[in-house]
Amino acid sequence: MQNNQQKNNKSINDLFELSEKELKRQTEGIELIPSENYVSENVLKALGTVFTNKYSEGYPGKRYYGGQKYTDEVERICIEKAAKLFRCDHANVQPYSGAPANLAVYSAWAKPGDTILSMKLSHGGHLTHGSSLTFSSKIYNFIHYGIKDVETGEIDYDQMRGLALKHKPRIIVAGFSSYPRELDYKKIADIAKEVGALAMADIAHLAGLVAGGVLNNPFDFGFQVCTATTHKTLRGPRGGLILSKGNVLNPLKNVEHTLENIPTLIDRAVFPGLQGGPHMNVILAKAVAFEEASQPEFKDYANQVLVNSKYLAHKLMDKGFKLITNGTDNHLMVIDTISSFNLSGGEVEKIFESIGLNVNKNLIPNDTRTPFDPSGIRLGTPAATTRGMKEKDMDLISDWTLKAIENRNNESYLINLKKEVVEYCKTFPILF
């Protein structure tokens, strides 16, 4: 019996050792994947609370299980903080991630077979915006708009309006995963109003920058719904969020299918429509993150993300990197690595990883290569900025990227370059 217990303890200790190794990896490298970030110690603490033990199907005051005094209080606070932060009428804080958040909005407003208009995947859209690989594409008829001019990144709004007038979509989705420019929310909202569509913005990548006041809030331009993730630029736990304007009614009762009732229709789509009990420890962590995002220092952080991103983009272009749209307006940039160095995105991703710089391979507009070996990479500044890095650090990062590419076949040089990165990272802790 004692031997078995010792074996079990060793097995558990081995698992926790992996966590320590991951902490070391994160600490000794620079995270440049724009969808990743570091949470605060308070967010980490919230994720590890006993709220993870509690099952809470339903909504505050309307649960199917007893013992909900404190879960109800947590979720109410979380909803209030989110709605205040994004200046809207209601927030559903239960979605497990961004993908089910998007699906919840689709199912709340559209019927199977209805048309949804969204950005083309290769031009910067997301899988959940109608990729043929996703389940949602089997339910709804997705059509796509895209970039008019790859050099400037201008969206073809005439094409968007033409498609909307022709196909009469139930929903128009404004949002992206790898588009480095800001969208014209007013034009999109006007097109949606013209054809009677729901105007939905997927701000998963931008939520922290919107909350920080450095990028436009779609609600200010006539949008009814915004979906988001609570990590990325928002620096919260991994999870989803749906924000909306309209009437907030009893989510467990049928309501008329009108735009005014979209908050309640979305609540019903989330539960009981798509998921069961929410993860209450994550909702607590979301509430902590929303409170942190409401502080003045978060605005400083959001601004520095943009400063760093634009500065890094400029430095990379000076070094011969071909950036899609020739720059950025937000936290991310997409690089055409084939045009820059005749290297695929997958090759560059591995080269950078070998010295401790983490990026992700990515499709570029009109890419002729596969998603597993595309023509580009995607990188951004949210995580590096969280660690306290500023313009001078972006200078150094741009230097490292070019040195790594130029010396990619020199193993000893890359080893020494990685040592340089590791040493540099010691002054930038990931817990704050």
Residue numbers annotated as active site:
55, 57, 202, 229, 232, 238
The alpha helices in 180-295, defined as continuous H runs, are: 185-195, 207-211, 262-268, 280-293
Amino acid at 181: R
Contact partners, residue 318, CB within 8 Å, separation at least 6 = 398
- The Cα 104–Cα 110 span in angstroms is 10
Which of 387, 389, 396, 390 is CA-nearest to residue 421?
A: 396
Strand partners, 202: 175, 227
Cα–Cα separations (whole angstroms), residue 292 to 96, 234, 236, 301? 21, 9, 9, 11
Cα 374–Cα 379–Cα 382 angle in degrees, nearest 5: 155
Strand partners, 141: 115
Contact partners, residue 402, CB within 8 Å, separation at least 6 = 319, 320
Q: Which residue has the tokens 């200046």?
A: 87
E strands present in 146-289: 147-149, 154-155, 171-175, 198-202, 225-229, 240-244
Contact 284, 43 (CB under 8 A): no
Which of 255, 281, 180 is CA-nearest to residue 263?
A: 255
Contact partners, residue 207, CB within 8 Å, separation at least 6 = 86, 228, 229, 230, 232, 233, 234, 241
Cα 37–Cα 31–Cα 183 angle in degrees, nearest 5: 60
* 111 HSE (CA, 13 A, CB side): 1
Contact 175, 126 (CB under 8 A): yes
